[in-house]
Amino acid sequence: MAKKVSTVFVCNECGYESSKWLGKCPSCNAWNTFVEEKAIQATSSKDRKKPQNEVVKLNTVQKKETTRVKTGVEELDRVLGGGFVNGSLTLLGGEPRNWKVNTYFANLQ
């Protein structure tokens, strides 16, 4: 497929790009700084770079031991694989006014 030539508007002050002309740049708040430039976009799937991911068999992956923080709630620790992992984010969901937050924070004190 051929490459599609289109225009893009670029702010002279900060380099913000927009598909249409704007009077005021939303990034740097400068007035009348947009200029029209030609942008070449590849439309063929052959032109796109493929990610350089490597396929690894699951049984060859090495297990890492991580330090976990116990919550004090036996069932929650079991579900989390032994507690919270330091530096991770865990979302607890369920019915409102359930034991989720109250029990955890009560055990931290």
Q: Are 69 and 83 in contact (CB under 8 A)?
A: yes
What are phi and psi for residue 41, nearest 5 degrees?
Answer: -120, 135
pTM, two decimal places: 0.36
The span from the CA of 91 to the CA of 108, in Å, is 17
- Determine the average pLDDT of the residues in 16-40: 89
Question: What pLDDT score does 46 carry?
Answer: 60
Q: Residue by residue, what is the 3-state secondary structure of the chain?
A: CCCEEEEEEEECCCCCEECCCCCECCCCCCECCEEEEEEEECCCCCCCCCCCCCCCCHHHCCCCCCCEECCCCHHHHHHCCCCEECCCCCCCCCCCCCCHHHHHHHHHC
Encode pLDDT of 59-96 as tens digits: 898 888 888 888 888 988 898 888 888 888 888 777 77
pLDDT band at 4 (very low <50, low <70, confident <90, very high): low
Q: What is the pLDDT of residue 73?
A: 83
Question: What ranges do the domains of the chain cover?
Answer: 4-41, 65-108
Q: Tens of pLDDT along 29-66?
A: 999 999 998 876 655 656 566 677 888 898 898 888 88
Which token pair is 97?
């006014």
* Mean predicted confidence (pLDDT) in 4-21: 86
